[in-house]
A and B are shown apart, each in its own frame.
Chain A
Amino acid sequence: MSDYISHDHEDDGIDRRGFLHCMAWAGTGLLWTISGGVLASKTLAQIAKAGEPLPTTDLSFLQISDSHIGFSKEANKDVTATFRIALDRINAMPTPPSFLIHTGDISQLSKPEEFDTFDEVLKSCRTKDVFYVPGEHDVLDGSGKLYRERYLKSLEGKGSGWYSFNKNGVHFIGLVNVLNLQTGGLGQLGDEQLEWLEADVKDLGSSTPIVVFAHIPLWAVYPEWGWGTNDSERALGYLKRFGSVTVLNGHIHQVLQKVEGNVTFHSAMSTAFPQPAPGTAPSPGPMKVPAEKLRSMLGLTSVQYLQGRSSLAVVDSNLS
Protein backbone atom coordinates (compact mmCIF):
# COMPACT_ATOMS: atom_id res chain seq x y z
CA MET A 1 0.00 0.00 0.00
CA SER A 2 1.22 3.48 -0.66
CA ASP A 3 -1.53 5.51 0.94
CA TYR A 4 0.47 8.48 2.11
CA ILE A 5 -1.66 11.02 3.80
CA SER A 6 -3.25 13.66 1.58
CA HIS A 7 -5.56 15.60 3.90
CA ASP A 8 -4.47 15.99 7.46
CA HIS A 9 -6.45 18.94 8.80
CA GLU A 10 -5.89 18.11 12.43
CA ASP A 11 -2.24 17.27 12.01
CA ASP A 12 -2.90 13.98 13.75
CA GLY A 13 -1.39 11.67 11.20
CA ILE A 14 -4.78 10.42 9.98
CA ASP A 15 -6.88 11.62 7.09
CA ARG A 16 -10.49 10.68 6.49
CA ARG A 17 -9.80 8.51 3.46
CA GLY A 18 -7.05 6.66 5.27
CA PHE A 19 -9.19 6.15 8.31
CA LEU A 20 -12.09 4.78 6.30
CA HIS A 21 -9.67 2.54 4.48
CA CYS A 22 -8.47 1.17 7.80
CA MET A 23 -12.01 0.63 8.94
CA ALA A 24 -12.71 -1.36 5.79
CA TRP A 25 -9.76 -3.60 6.47
CA ALA A 26 -10.70 -3.98 10.07
CA GLY A 27 -14.17 -4.98 8.98
CA THR A 28 -12.82 -7.87 6.96
CA GLY A 29 -10.79 -9.12 9.90
CA LEU A 30 -7.60 -8.61 7.95
CA LEU A 31 -4.50 -6.86 9.04
CA TRP A 32 -3.88 -3.16 8.89
CA THR A 33 -1.40 -0.61 10.07
CA ILE A 34 -1.29 3.05 10.88
CA SER A 35 2.11 4.53 11.53
CA GLY A 36 2.75 8.21 11.34
CA GLY A 37 0.11 8.50 8.65
CA VAL A 38 1.61 5.76 6.50
CA LEU A 39 -0.68 2.82 5.98
CA ALA A 40 0.57 -0.66 5.30
CA SER A 41 -1.02 -4.06 5.07
CA LYS A 42 0.60 -7.41 5.80
CA THR A 43 -0.44 -10.40 7.78
CA LEU A 44 1.87 -11.88 10.37
CA ALA A 45 1.51 -15.19 8.55
CA GLN A 46 2.75 -13.60 5.31
CA ILE A 47 5.67 -12.06 7.12
CA ALA A 48 6.57 -15.36 8.72
CA LYS A 49 6.32 -17.20 5.40
CA ALA A 50 8.46 -14.77 3.44
CA GLY A 51 10.98 -14.54 6.25
CA GLU A 52 10.60 -10.81 5.86
CA PRO A 53 11.50 -8.85 8.95
CA LEU A 54 9.15 -6.26 10.37
CA PRO A 55 10.30 -2.68 9.88
CA THR A 56 13.00 -1.70 12.34
CA THR A 57 11.28 -0.44 15.43
CA ASP A 58 12.27 1.00 18.75
CA LEU A 59 9.76 -1.18 20.53
CA SER A 60 7.33 -3.88 19.55
CA PHE A 61 4.88 -5.63 21.80
CA LEU A 62 1.88 -7.84 21.35
CA GLN A 63 -1.64 -7.65 22.69
CA ILE A 64 -3.49 -10.88 23.38
CA SER A 65 -6.97 -10.94 24.83
CA ASP A 66 -10.04 -12.84 25.98
CA SER A 67 -8.61 -16.36 26.17
CA HIS A 68 -11.64 -17.55 28.22
CA ILE A 69 -9.87 -20.75 29.27
CA GLY A 70 -12.59 -23.08 30.58
CA PHE A 71 -15.22 -22.08 28.00
CA SER A 72 -16.49 -25.16 26.15
CA LYS A 73 -19.75 -24.17 24.49
CA GLU A 74 -20.78 -24.32 20.83
CA ALA A 75 -18.97 -21.11 19.83
CA ASN A 76 -15.61 -22.86 20.45
CA LYS A 77 -15.33 -26.19 22.23
CA ASP A 78 -11.54 -26.00 22.49
CA VAL A 79 -10.41 -22.53 23.49
CA THR A 80 -7.13 -23.93 24.81
CA ALA A 81 -6.25 -25.12 21.30
CA THR A 82 -6.92 -21.73 19.70
CA PHE A 83 -4.97 -20.00 22.47
CA ARG A 84 -2.08 -22.33 21.68
CA ILE A 85 -2.30 -21.44 17.98
CA ALA A 86 -2.08 -17.76 18.89
CA LEU A 87 1.10 -18.46 20.86
CA ASP A 88 2.50 -20.46 17.91
CA ARG A 89 1.95 -17.38 15.75
CA ILE A 90 3.89 -15.26 18.21
CA ASN A 91 6.71 -17.83 18.27
CA ALA A 92 6.85 -17.78 14.46
CA MET A 93 7.41 -14.03 14.26
CA PRO A 94 10.91 -13.27 12.90
CA THR A 95 11.36 -10.56 15.49
CA PRO A 96 9.74 -11.64 18.74
CA PRO A 97 7.80 -8.95 20.60
CA SER A 98 9.51 -7.48 23.65
CA PHE A 99 6.56 -8.40 25.84
CA LEU A 100 2.89 -9.33 25.81
CA ILE A 101 -0.07 -7.43 27.16
CA HIS A 102 -3.09 -9.55 28.09
CA THR A 103 -6.20 -7.41 28.22
CA GLY A 104 -8.30 -9.68 30.38
CA ASP A 105 -10.70 -12.61 30.50
CA ILE A 106 -7.86 -15.05 30.90
CA SER A 107 -10.41 -17.49 32.32
CA GLN A 108 -14.11 -18.17 31.81
CA LEU A 109 -15.12 -18.55 35.48
CA SER A 110 -12.11 -17.39 37.58
CA LYS A 111 -11.42 -21.02 38.54
CA PRO A 112 -7.92 -21.92 39.77
CA GLU A 113 -7.74 -24.82 37.30
CA GLU A 114 -8.55 -22.47 34.41
CA PHE A 115 -5.73 -20.14 35.44
CA ASP A 116 -3.48 -23.23 35.82
CA THR A 117 -4.20 -24.31 32.24
CA PHE A 118 -3.55 -20.82 30.93
CA ASP A 119 -0.23 -20.57 32.78
CA GLU A 120 0.84 -24.01 31.57
CA VAL A 121 0.06 -23.30 27.90
CA LEU A 122 1.68 -19.88 28.09
CA LYS A 123 4.99 -21.55 28.98
CA SER A 124 5.35 -22.46 25.28
CA CYS A 125 5.58 -18.77 24.36
CA ARG A 126 9.05 -17.51 23.52
CA THR A 127 8.21 -14.09 24.91
CA LYS A 128 8.16 -14.45 28.68
CA ASP A 129 7.34 -10.96 29.88
CA VAL A 130 3.53 -10.53 30.23
CA PHE A 131 1.52 -7.64 31.67
CA TYR A 132 -2.09 -8.22 32.66
CA VAL A 133 -5.29 -6.38 33.41
CA PRO A 134 -8.34 -8.35 34.58
CA GLY A 135 -11.57 -8.97 32.69
CA GLU A 136 -14.86 -9.44 34.50
CA HIS A 137 -14.51 -13.20 34.01
CA ASP A 138 -11.28 -13.15 36.04
CA VAL A 139 -12.84 -11.51 39.10
CA LEU A 140 -16.11 -13.42 39.50
CA ASP A 141 -15.34 -13.82 43.20
CA GLY A 142 -16.13 -10.11 43.44
CA SER A 143 -12.70 -9.00 44.67
CA GLY A 144 -10.28 -10.42 42.14
CA LYS A 145 -8.06 -11.80 44.93
CA LEU A 146 -7.05 -14.92 43.04
CA TYR A 147 -6.31 -12.91 39.88
CA ARG A 148 -4.15 -10.43 41.80
CA GLU A 149 -2.20 -13.14 43.59
CA ARG A 150 -1.33 -14.82 40.31
CA TYR A 151 -0.88 -12.05 37.83
CA LEU A 152 0.33 -9.04 39.76
CA LYS A 153 2.97 -10.61 41.93
CA SER A 154 5.89 -9.17 39.99
CA LEU A 155 4.37 -5.70 39.68
CA GLU A 156 3.63 -2.98 42.10
CA GLY A 157 -0.13 -3.15 41.53
CA LYS A 158 -2.06 -0.32 43.12
CA GLY A 159 -5.53 -0.56 44.66
CA SER A 160 -7.39 -3.32 42.88
CA GLY A 161 -4.48 -3.93 40.51
CA TRP A 162 -3.71 -0.93 38.32
CA TYR A 163 -0.12 0.10 37.57
CA SER A 164 2.18 1.82 35.12
CA PHE A 165 5.64 1.21 33.73
CA ASN A 166 8.06 2.65 31.16
CA LYS A 167 9.64 0.88 28.20
CA ASN A 168 11.89 2.56 25.63
CA GLY A 169 10.49 5.98 26.42
CA VAL A 170 6.85 4.85 26.16
CA HIS A 171 4.68 5.13 29.30
CA PHE A 172 2.31 2.17 29.76
CA ILE A 173 -0.74 2.32 32.03
CA GLY A 174 -2.77 -0.78 32.95
CA LEU A 175 -6.24 0.11 34.27
CA VAL A 176 -8.92 -1.97 35.99
CA ASN A 177 -12.52 -1.24 34.97
CA VAL A 178 -14.30 -4.49 35.84
CA LEU A 179 -14.72 -4.23 39.62
CA ASN A 180 -17.44 -2.70 41.81
CA LEU A 181 -19.76 -2.27 38.84
CA GLN A 182 -22.98 -0.43 39.70
CA THR A 183 -26.51 -1.39 38.73
CA GLY A 184 -27.53 -0.15 35.29
CA GLY A 185 -24.00 1.10 34.61
CA LEU A 186 -20.99 0.31 32.45
CA GLY A 187 -17.37 -0.45 33.22
CA GLN A 188 -15.95 1.70 35.98
CA LEU A 189 -12.53 3.01 37.04
CA GLY A 190 -13.54 4.71 40.30
CA ASP A 191 -12.23 7.78 42.12
CA GLU A 192 -9.23 6.13 43.74
CA GLN A 193 -7.87 4.86 40.42
CA LEU A 194 -8.59 8.15 38.64
CA GLU A 195 -6.73 10.13 41.32
CA TRP A 196 -3.82 7.74 40.98
CA LEU A 197 -3.85 8.19 37.19
CA GLU A 198 -3.82 11.97 37.45
CA ALA A 199 -0.77 11.81 39.72
CA ASP A 200 0.90 9.12 37.62
CA VAL A 201 1.05 11.23 34.44
CA LYS A 202 1.45 14.65 36.07
CA ASP A 203 5.21 14.91 35.69
CA LEU A 204 5.50 13.36 32.24
CA GLY A 205 6.42 15.52 29.25
CA SER A 206 3.63 15.94 26.70
CA SER A 207 5.74 14.29 24.02
CA THR A 208 5.89 11.01 25.96
CA PRO A 209 3.95 8.38 24.00
CA ILE A 210 1.23 6.88 26.20
CA VAL A 211 -0.27 3.40 25.92
CA VAL A 212 -3.31 2.71 28.09
CA PHE A 213 -4.72 -0.79 28.33
CA ALA A 214 -7.87 -2.00 30.05
CA HIS A 215 -10.40 -4.76 29.49
CA ILE A 216 -13.66 -2.92 28.77
CA PRO A 217 -13.44 -0.22 26.08
CA LEU A 218 -12.66 3.28 27.38
CA TRP A 219 -14.93 4.74 24.70
CA ALA A 220 -18.65 4.31 24.20
CA VAL A 221 -18.62 1.46 21.67
CA TYR A 222 -22.19 0.38 22.44
CA PRO A 223 -23.46 1.30 25.90
CA GLU A 224 -26.68 -0.68 25.35
CA TRP A 225 -24.54 -3.81 25.66
CA GLY A 226 -22.39 -2.39 28.42
CA TRP A 227 -19.53 -1.75 25.99
CA GLY A 228 -18.10 1.39 27.53
CA THR A 229 -16.78 2.81 30.80
CA ASN A 230 -18.77 5.29 32.92
CA ASP A 231 -15.89 7.51 33.99
CA SER A 232 -13.52 7.09 31.03
CA GLU A 233 -13.94 10.76 30.02
CA ARG A 234 -12.24 11.84 33.23
CA ALA A 235 -9.34 9.48 32.59
CA LEU A 236 -8.95 10.74 29.02
CA GLY A 237 -9.04 14.31 30.31
CA TYR A 238 -5.78 13.66 32.17
CA LEU A 239 -4.23 12.39 28.92
CA LYS A 240 -5.45 15.16 26.64
CA ARG A 241 -2.20 17.13 26.57
CA PHE A 242 -0.15 14.19 25.30
CA GLY A 243 0.75 14.05 21.62
CA SER A 244 0.27 10.31 21.21
CA VAL A 245 -2.15 8.18 23.21
CA THR A 246 -2.99 4.61 22.22
CA VAL A 247 -5.82 2.94 24.13
CA LEU A 248 -6.05 -0.85 23.83
CA ASN A 249 -8.91 -2.98 25.07
CA GLY A 250 -10.48 -6.41 24.72
CA HIS A 251 -13.93 -7.50 25.95
CA ILE A 252 -15.85 -7.15 22.68
CA HIS A 253 -13.98 -9.87 20.75
CA GLN A 254 -13.66 -7.93 17.50
CA VAL A 255 -11.50 -5.28 15.91
CA LEU A 256 -12.90 -1.79 16.20
CA GLN A 257 -11.04 1.47 16.02
CA LYS A 258 -11.74 5.09 16.65
CA VAL A 259 -9.42 8.09 16.39
CA GLU A 260 -10.19 11.22 18.37
CA GLY A 261 -7.57 13.97 18.17
CA ASN A 262 -4.31 12.40 19.34
CA VAL A 263 -6.04 9.39 20.89
CA THR A 264 -6.36 6.10 19.03
CA PHE A 265 -8.81 3.61 20.55
CA HIS A 266 -8.42 0.04 19.48
CA SER A 267 -10.15 -3.19 20.50
CA ALA A 268 -8.62 -6.60 19.83
CA MET A 269 -9.98 -9.95 18.75
CA SER A 270 -10.31 -12.80 21.23
CA THR A 271 -8.40 -16.07 20.97
CA ALA A 272 -11.55 -17.94 22.08
CA PHE A 273 -14.73 -16.93 20.23
CA PRO A 274 -16.14 -13.96 18.31
CA GLN A 275 -18.94 -11.71 19.51
CA PRO A 276 -21.49 -9.97 17.28
CA ALA A 277 -21.00 -6.48 15.89
CA PRO A 278 -22.79 -3.87 18.05
CA GLY A 279 -26.56 -4.21 17.88
CA THR A 280 -26.60 -7.02 15.31
CA ALA A 281 -27.82 -9.77 17.67
CA PRO A 282 -30.23 -10.08 20.61
CA SER A 283 -27.29 -10.04 23.01
CA PRO A 284 -23.49 -9.71 23.02
CA GLY A 285 -23.03 -13.40 23.97
CA PRO A 286 -20.60 -15.79 22.23
CA MET A 287 -21.29 -15.92 18.48
CA LYS A 288 -21.52 -19.28 16.76
CA VAL A 289 -19.93 -19.30 13.32
CA PRO A 290 -19.18 -22.20 10.93
CA ALA A 291 -16.15 -24.19 12.12
CA GLU A 292 -14.10 -23.28 9.05
CA LYS A 293 -14.71 -19.59 9.70
CA LEU A 294 -13.89 -19.52 13.41
CA ARG A 295 -10.14 -18.96 13.20
CA SER A 296 -10.59 -16.05 10.82
CA MET A 297 -12.47 -14.29 13.61
CA LEU A 298 -9.89 -14.93 16.32
CA GLY A 299 -6.56 -13.19 16.53
CA LEU A 300 -4.03 -10.96 18.15
CA THR A 301 -2.68 -7.44 17.83
CA SER A 302 0.89 -6.35 17.28
CA VAL A 303 2.00 -2.84 18.18
CA GLN A 304 5.18 -1.07 17.07
CA TYR A 305 6.63 2.19 18.20
CA LEU A 306 9.12 4.15 16.13
CA GLN A 307 10.74 7.07 17.85
CA GLY A 308 9.81 10.34 16.22
CA ARG A 309 6.58 9.01 14.72
CA SER A 310 3.38 10.60 15.95
CA SER A 311 1.42 7.39 16.42
CA LEU A 312 2.07 3.73 17.06
CA ALA A 313 1.52 1.09 14.38
CA VAL A 314 -1.29 -1.22 15.41
CA VAL A 315 -1.54 -4.42 13.38
CA ASP A 316 -4.27 -7.03 13.77
CA SER A 317 -3.93 -10.52 12.41
CA ASN A 318 -6.32 -13.44 12.58
CA LEU A 319 -5.53 -17.09 13.28
CA SER A 320 -6.60 -18.59 9.96
Chain B
Amino acid sequence: MTKLTQKNKRTALLCGISFLNLALFAIAGEMKDANGPGAATKNQIVIKDFHFTPQTLTVKSGEKITWINRDDEPHTVVSVEKQFKKSSALDTDQEFTTIAGAPGTYSYFCSVHPKMTGTIVVEK
Protein backbone atom coordinates (compact mmCIF):
# COMPACT_ATOMS: atom_id res chain seq x y z
CA MET B 1 0.00 0.00 0.00
CA THR B 2 1.25 3.49 -0.84
CA LYS B 3 1.60 6.03 1.96
CA LEU B 4 0.67 9.62 1.43
CA THR B 5 3.73 11.69 0.56
CA GLN B 6 4.26 15.17 2.02
CA LYS B 7 3.46 16.67 -1.37
CA ASN B 8 0.25 14.68 -1.65
CA LYS B 9 -0.71 15.71 1.85
CA ARG B 10 -0.23 19.37 0.98
CA THR B 11 -2.23 18.93 -2.22
CA ALA B 12 -4.95 17.15 -0.33
CA LEU B 13 -5.07 19.86 2.30
CA LEU B 14 -5.28 22.61 -0.31
CA CYS B 15 -7.98 20.78 -2.23
CA GLY B 16 -9.88 20.16 0.96
CA ILE B 17 -9.85 23.85 1.78
CA SER B 18 -10.76 25.01 -1.72
CA PHE B 19 -13.19 22.32 -2.79
CA LEU B 20 -14.51 20.16 -0.04
CA ASN B 21 -15.60 17.48 -2.46
CA LEU B 22 -12.50 17.32 -4.61
CA ALA B 23 -10.05 15.99 -2.05
CA LEU B 24 -8.04 12.94 -3.00
CA PHE B 25 -8.15 9.45 -1.66
CA ALA B 26 -4.77 7.88 -1.16
CA ILE B 27 -3.85 5.87 -4.21
CA ALA B 28 -3.96 2.57 -2.44
CA GLY B 29 -6.32 0.21 -4.21
CA GLU B 30 -5.71 -3.48 -3.97
CA MET B 31 -7.70 -6.56 -4.79
CA LYS B 32 -7.63 -10.05 -3.31
CA ASP B 33 -9.75 -13.07 -2.61
CA ALA B 34 -11.55 -12.79 0.69
CA ASN B 35 -12.53 -16.23 1.83
CA GLY B 36 -10.37 -16.19 4.96
CA PRO B 37 -12.16 -16.36 8.29
CA GLY B 38 -10.32 -13.30 9.58
CA ALA B 39 -11.76 -10.95 6.94
CA ALA B 40 -12.39 -7.60 8.56
CA THR B 41 -15.97 -6.36 8.59
CA LYS B 42 -15.25 -2.81 9.74
CA ASN B 43 -15.88 -0.32 6.94
CA GLN B 44 -16.93 -3.14 4.69
CA ILE B 45 -19.31 -2.61 1.80
CA VAL B 46 -21.01 -5.75 0.56
CA ILE B 47 -21.98 -6.00 -3.09
CA LYS B 48 -25.06 -8.19 -3.32
CA ASP B 49 -28.04 -8.28 -5.68
CA PHE B 50 -26.54 -5.42 -7.70
CA HIS B 51 -26.45 -3.07 -4.69
CA PHE B 52 -23.73 -1.57 -2.53
CA THR B 53 -24.64 -2.06 1.16
CA PRO B 54 -24.50 0.23 3.01
CA GLN B 55 -25.12 2.60 0.16
CA THR B 56 -23.59 5.44 2.20
CA LEU B 57 -20.64 4.63 4.44
CA THR B 58 -19.13 7.16 6.84
CA VAL B 59 -15.48 6.64 7.78
CA LYS B 60 -12.61 8.56 9.34
CA SER B 61 -9.80 9.87 7.20
CA GLY B 62 -7.02 7.32 6.98
CA GLU B 63 -9.25 4.30 7.59
CA LYS B 64 -9.37 1.31 5.29
CA ILE B 65 -12.51 0.68 3.23
CA THR B 66 -13.24 -2.72 1.73
CA TRP B 67 -15.75 -3.78 -0.90
CA ILE B 68 -16.57 -7.46 -1.26
CA ASN B 69 -18.53 -8.94 -4.15
CA ARG B 70 -21.11 -11.57 -3.14
CA ASP B 71 -22.84 -11.70 -6.53
CA ASP B 72 -22.36 -14.28 -9.31
CA GLU B 73 -21.70 -11.32 -11.58
CA PRO B 74 -18.53 -9.19 -11.84
CA HIS B 75 -18.70 -5.65 -10.48
CA THR B 76 -16.33 -2.70 -10.24
CA VAL B 77 -15.85 0.24 -7.88
CA VAL B 78 -15.16 3.47 -9.77
CA SER B 79 -15.01 7.01 -8.37
CA VAL B 80 -17.33 9.30 -10.32
CA GLU B 81 -14.83 12.18 -10.19
CA LYS B 82 -11.82 9.85 -10.47
CA GLN B 83 -10.90 10.76 -6.88
CA PHE B 84 -9.48 7.33 -6.10
CA LYS B 85 -8.00 4.51 -8.09
CA LYS B 86 -10.70 2.28 -9.58
CA SER B 87 -10.88 -1.44 -8.89
CA SER B 88 -10.44 -4.02 -11.58
CA ALA B 89 -13.45 -6.29 -12.22
CA LEU B 90 -14.23 -8.14 -9.00
CA ASP B 91 -15.40 -11.70 -9.48
CA THR B 92 -17.45 -13.54 -6.87
CA ASP B 93 -15.91 -13.25 -3.37
CA GLN B 94 -13.14 -10.95 -4.51
CA GLU B 95 -12.56 -7.74 -2.62
CA PHE B 96 -11.13 -4.30 -3.20
CA THR B 97 -9.57 -2.01 -0.64
CA THR B 98 -8.76 1.67 -0.56
CA ILE B 99 -7.77 4.15 2.15
CA ALA B 100 -10.03 7.08 2.95
CA GLY B 101 -8.27 10.33 2.12
CA ALA B 102 -9.15 13.89 3.04
CA PRO B 103 -12.60 14.68 4.47
CA GLY B 104 -15.33 15.01 1.89
CA THR B 105 -18.06 13.15 0.05
CA TYR B 106 -17.06 10.66 -2.60
CA SER B 107 -19.54 9.19 -5.08
CA TYR B 108 -18.74 5.95 -6.81
CA PHE B 109 -20.48 3.45 -9.11
CA CYS B 110 -20.07 0.11 -10.85
CA SER B 111 -18.85 0.82 -14.38
CA VAL B 112 -20.30 -2.51 -15.57
CA HIS B 113 -23.76 -1.83 -14.11
CA PRO B 114 -23.89 1.95 -13.74
CA LYS B 115 -27.26 1.86 -12.00
CA MET B 116 -25.28 0.68 -8.97
CA THR B 117 -24.10 3.72 -7.04
CA GLY B 118 -22.75 4.44 -3.56
CA THR B 119 -21.25 7.20 -1.44
CA ILE B 120 -18.35 7.40 0.99
CA VAL B 121 -18.40 10.24 3.51
CA VAL B 122 -14.94 10.85 4.99
CA GLU B 123 -14.81 12.69 8.29
CA LYS B 124 -11.79 14.12 10.08
Contact = CB atoms under 8 A, between A and B. Distances in A.
Interface of A: 71, 73-75, 108-110, 136-137, 140, 142, 181-186, 223-226, 282-286
Interface stretch (B1-9, B18-26, B29-37, B110-118): B110-118
A285 B50 contact: yes
A140 B50 contact: no
A101 B108 CA distance: 35
A110 B51 CA distance: 22
B92 interface: yes
A73 B71 CA distance: 10
A74 B49 contact: no
Interface of B: 49-51, 71-74, 76, 80, 88-89, 91-92, 107-109, 111-115, 117
B89 A183 contact: no
A134 to B, nearest CB: 12
A186 B92 CA distance: 23
A74 B89 CA distance: 20
B73 A183 contact: no
Nearest to B76: A140
Nearest to A110: B89
Contacts of A226: 113-115
Given A284-B50, A285-B50, 11 more contacts: A73-B72, A140-B89, A142-B111, A183-B109, A185-B114, A223-B115, A226-B113, A282-B49, A283-B51, A283-B71, A286-B72
A284 B71 CA distance: 11
Contact of B114 (A110, A140, A184, A282): A184
Contacts of B73: 285-286
A109 B114 contact: no
A283 B47 CA distance: 12
A182 B114 contact: yes
A304 to B, nearest CB: 34
Most buried by A among B74, B80, B114: B114
B114 A186 contact: yes
Nearest to A230: B114
A136 B112 CA distance: 6
Given A73-B72, A140-B74, A283 B114 contact: no
A264 B109 CA distance: 33
Name the 8 nearest CB pairs between A and B, nearest first: A283-B49, A183-B109, A140-B89, A283-B50, A73-B72, A181-B114, A282-B49, A226-B115
A183 B50 contact: no
5 contacts: A109-B89, A142-B111, A224-B115, A283-B71, A285-B71
A285 B49 contact: yes
A184 B109 contact: yes
Contacts of A223: 115
A186 B111 CA distance: 10
A142 B74 CA distance: 13
